[in-house]
Structure 1
Amino acid sequence: MSQKLTFKACLFDLDGTLVDTIGDIVYAMNAALAQVGIAPIDSQTCMRFVGRGLHNALKGALVEFGSQVDAASMQDLVEVLLHTYREHPYERSGVYPGIESLLQNSVASGLAVGVLSNKEDSLVKVIVRKKFPNIPFAMVQGACEGVPLKPDPATALDFARSLDLNPSEVLFVGDSEVDAQTAIAAGMPYALVTWGFRPRAELAGSGYNPLYDTVADLEKGVMV
């Protein structure tokens, strides 16, 4: 590790950062949208809705396609989405090239690593166990009752406290403005990657920096 770096842990977003999960999200979303007669959406369309939890992703899709549902119907649609996703959580998902090595190198260098996602907690844990069976994550946390979603910094701060670290010693790595906002609120340095669910132009236009286009760029610029 370079002596110029002061962080001692890395907290990673999951979807669009470590794992390309959009295929399974699209499959589950389309199962729910079909219930109200909405034609299947593709990956690029679905990417516009993700980042703030599956419930909010579904709400965004319904609004975009002009489908108005009452609270009870919305809950039914969420259940269809979650049931489908729980049945097929990772079949269409893959780890981004270079990520496994990045995580292994981080752990080998003495960094603690964690995962923080707005996806349902049980799904996050299943996907991480399946895709990274040999990485000793210090924390894997998704959405569950009583745990605020990103960009609320509470869980990111809990991660730092659990390691007895100052937030400034934890690097937050994600692929969206939500991740940057979480890091800023927590007082953590951050790096945004452009291989995920947000177009590079959108991230650049948001004013959040630095941006990294490849895992090699991230490892060279921040991790080593």
Structure 2
Amino acid sequence: MKKLVIFDLDGTLLNTIDDLGHATNYALEKMGYAPHPLNAYPAMVGNGVTKLLERALPAEVSTDPLQLQHTRSWFQQYYDLHSTDHSKPYDGITELLSTLAERNINMAVASNKYHDAVLQLVGHYFPTIPWVSVWGQKEGMPVKPDPSIVFGILNDCPTNKSDVLYVGDSGVDIKTARRACVESVGVTWGFRSKQELEEAYADHIVSEPHEILDYIG
């Protein structure tokens, strides 16, 4: 039986794409650049806010450190106030988390979103879930697919890797699990395709949250 389930946040637990898109468009407009349609953002997210902004900015300025710094400041100013305007848990997620808690399975969050925003979202949407560890991107820590975030969680909740299940919606998540040497479940309801999960060699792929229980043991 698995003893610890590590969840990605955006695209796995929460559908956050509209709020991410609105925050990015706000930052772009403040910088004098054209916004993108919201349906363009699923392909841009997954590697942290800085990478999202690099992808959203015009190519000629996307790698300029000063442009990125100013754009990120506008993004965070907006997102800190509006991160819960349109976001919501995917259908069946709250029930899944409650079932895992009833079975005394430890749960953690590993996100590339900046740490303060992760804490805010998890606290807002899942206040009764007894998380053993919640990690967002922290200063000086590499983003996923670097496995450092998983090792940080395992430091908070020591668990044999064979007893860990990592759940995410993107190739980044599956690569993170592989590099950390833990079993992975790719979910198809998020921001990326089933093909991406297959190409990243997900150990399992599910289309409904309750199916994750089949791999708990």
TM over 0.5: yes
C-alpha separation between the residues in 1 aligned to 2:212 and 2:183? 14
CA offsets per residue over residues 163-222 of structure 1, 9 Å max, x none? Answer: 221122110000011111111111110101010010223333444342111113333x32
CA offsets per residue over residues 22-52 of structure 1, 9 Å max, x none? Answer: 1110010101122344433233311111111
Partner of 1:68: 61
Q: Quote the sequence identity (%).
A: 34
AA in 2 matched with 1:92: H
Equivalent position SS for 2:110: strand
| TM-score between the two structures when normalised by the length of structure 1 | 0.90
CA RMSD of aligned residues (A): 1.7
Q: Which moved more, 1:69-78 or 1:85-94?
A: 69-78
Q: Could you tell me whether the CA contact under 8 Å between 2:174 and 2:197 is conserved in 1?
A: no
Question: Which of 78, 81, 94 is the equivalent residue of 2:75?
Answer: 81
Equivalent position SS for 1:172: strand
Equivalent position SS for 1:40: coil
Partner of 1:3: none
Question: Which of 22, 25, 30 is the equivalent residue of 1:30?
Answer: 25
Structure 1 unmatched runs, 5+: 1-5
Q: Could you tell me whether the CA contact under 8 Å between 1:36 and 1:67 is conserved in 2?
A: no
CA offsets per residue over residues 37-79 of structure 1, 9 Å max, x none? Answer: 44332333111111110111110122xx434253222211111
AA in 2 matched with 1:58: L
Equivalent position SS for 2:72: helix
C-alpha separation between the residues in 2 aligned to 1:168 and 1:34? 47
Following TM superposition, by how much is the alpha carbon of 1:117 offset from its aligned partner in structure 2, in angstroms?
Answer: 0.3
C-alpha separation between the residues in 2 aligned to 1:66 and 1:72? 14
Partner of 1:21: 16
Q: Quick check: 1:222 aligned with 2:183?
A: no
Question: Mapping of 1:44-123 within 5 angstroms?
Answer: 44-62=39-57, 65-68=58-61, 70-123=64-117
Q: Quick check: 1:191 aligned with 2:185?
A: yes
Q: Could you tell me whether the CA contact under 8 Å between 1:10 and 1:172 is conserved in 2?
A: yes
Q: Could you tell me whether the CA contact under 8 Å between 2:9 and 2:111 is conserved in 1?
A: yes
AA in 1 matched with 2:61: Q
Question: Which of 3, 6, 19 is the equivalent residue of 1:8?
Answer: 3
Partner of 1:143: 137
C-alpha separation between the residues in 1 aligned to 2:150 and 2:28? 32
| TM-score between the two structures when normalised by the length of structure 2 | 0.92
Equivalent position SS for 1:164: coil
Q: Could you tell me whether the CA contact under 8 Å between 1:31 and 1:84 is conserved in 2?
A: yes
AA in 1 matched with 2:210: A
CA shift in 2, pair 1:209/1:79, >3 Å = same
Q: Which moved more, 1:198-207 or 1:146-155?
A: 198-207
Q: Quick check: 1:163 aligned with 2:157?
A: yes
Aligned length: 216
C-alpha separation between the residues in 2 aligned to 1:146 and 1:160? 19
